[in-house]
Structure 1
């Protein structure tokens, strides 16, 4: 009986923690985000087909890309990171923010903007808006808060690091698949050589995306969001999300490179 009581005392907080992670994942719409990333992966695969396979990849290549960018695997990686890198108190604080009309609106706007940017015309317009502001030195009301949001969450640096890791993994997949003759050191040099361009592209994409997402948001709501991001819970959540995606995207990129190599070599036979 004593052992049973001890087990119950241990398991009860764990069950509460798991329930909290599920609630937070639901509020963040992780499944919807994973599906959006899956669709972005399909677009990326189609671009690789056009650029490197002369458009001959067909249904086989499209099916392989769909499997590599598996939405369920993406969602699981994020849920695992939330569970492993957030405390119960941090999960509760995040739920308290997102389980409100303001929090739900922010998540919806972020997801809707991400989906909208899959349309080339929408992305071009969003980039044009940002680049025009950047060129003129404009500082409309949302922009200062967006800049602060990016700074607080270190979004440029974290995204650059993620992009470089994914790029190296992709090149390694190509090399291991026999379609690229570069040593690990040469692959690393290539990725590092593209760092400045990656940073510039990341900055432009982030500002274009966030301007599109947050322009409908009331200024006080955006400031409240930045304020939450500055809290220990907000900082921990941001790190956990990057750790989740950081755990799976190099694997995805490697598999994509390896499969692309197989397709390229098969087309040469």
Structure 2
């Protein structure tokens, strides 16, 4: 019955007229709010970089530079083209589910879970919950794993993070803060892969357990059925493309600003 319901909304949406579907999709997934969370994450990361790489001497200029890099409105616009590239007929079918009560409930839960994972204590609790459930037959664990498998979420997230790391190191070198060859940069980035993969799985599972907790069994089943449609797959790919572009650009810009401040505070470049 649940799969029939998903098939029904797909069939109904086939008759939808073409229109500004991408704008509606962007509104329904609350992309700007997602970018506000990404901005907050970026600002927090910048504080760590200021402490670790600039000995806390960034100051007001650093704060201004970081504020300019993590511009949520610009980040939203930079992610837009990947969604606009989806066929309008596909977007129309997506929007019928995304605009439903369940679709909007899931969008809200995604943002709430993502926001919760920014708090260190909440993140630790979510990761701990995942660890405690491993090896059990808890239905939430099964759903979370199926969501990850359906969207290839670990591989996609690891790839995005590795590329962002590469751009950051490249920017440090281009900015004259460090001396590294291309091979050294690639080697340094790939050395992070195993630890990054383990951390990504733990984070994703904790996040998804938070997300699916308020959903009942029928809602979880319908959500999974939706995620397995070609339409949801197209949106997933577009979001990773869009966010990948955004994070790549942000990481390079951040690296250049770090390099600028290192050079201003020190004497030339050094080996990393």
**Distance of 1:109 and 1:52 partners within structure 2:** 35
Q: Which residue of 2 aligns with 1:216?
A: 214
Structure 1 position 268, deviation (Å) = 1.7
Q: Which residue of 2 aligns with 1:50?
A: 51
Cα 1:17/1:72, change in 2 over 3 Å: farther
Counterpart mapping for 1:152-167 below 5 A: 152-167=150-165
Structure 1's unaligned 5+ residue stretches are 1-15
Which deviates more, 258-267 or 166-175? Answer: 258-267
Q: Which residue of 1 aligns with 2:132?
A: 132
**Among residues 233, 236, 247, which one is paired with 1:235 in the alignment?**
233
Counterpart mapping for 1:245-264 below 5 A: 245-264=243-262
2:87 counterpart of 1:98 = no
Structure 1 position 17, deviation (Å) = 5.3
**Distance of 2:161 and 2:189 partners within structure 1:** 9
Does structure 2 retain, via aligned residues, the 8 Å contact 1:174–1:261?
yes
**Distance of 1:59 and 1:17 partners within structure 2:** 48
**Among residues 195, 199, 202, which one is paired with 2:200 in the alignment?**
202
**Distance of 1:266 and 1:206 partners within structure 2:** 38
**Distance of 1:172 and 1:22 partners within structure 2:** 34
Q: Which residue of 1 aligns with 2:144?
A: 146
TM-score normalized by the length of structure 1: 0.90
Counterpart mapping for 1:177-188 below 5 A: 177-188=175-186
Structure 1 position 133, deviation (Å) = 2.1
Cα 1:181/1:18, change in 2 over 3 Å: farther
Structure 2's unaligned 5+ residue stretches are 1-16, 268-272
Which deviates more, 56-65 or 89-98? Answer: 56-65
Task: Say how many residue pairs are matched.
Answer: 251
Q: CA RMSD in A?
A: 1.3
Cα 1:264/1:18, change in 2 over 3 Å: farther
**Distance of 2:182 and 2:18 partners within structure 1:** 41
2:121 counterpart of 1:121 = yes
TM-score normalized by the length of structure 2: 0.89
Secondary structure of the 1:54 match is coil
Secondary structure of the 2:20 match is helix
Q: Which residue of 2 aligns with 1:19?
A: 20
**Distance of 2:210 and 2:73 partners within structure 1:** 27
Between structures 1 and 2, the one with greater helix share: 1
Structure 1 position 213, deviation (Å) = 1.7
Structure 1 position 154, deviation (Å) = 0.4
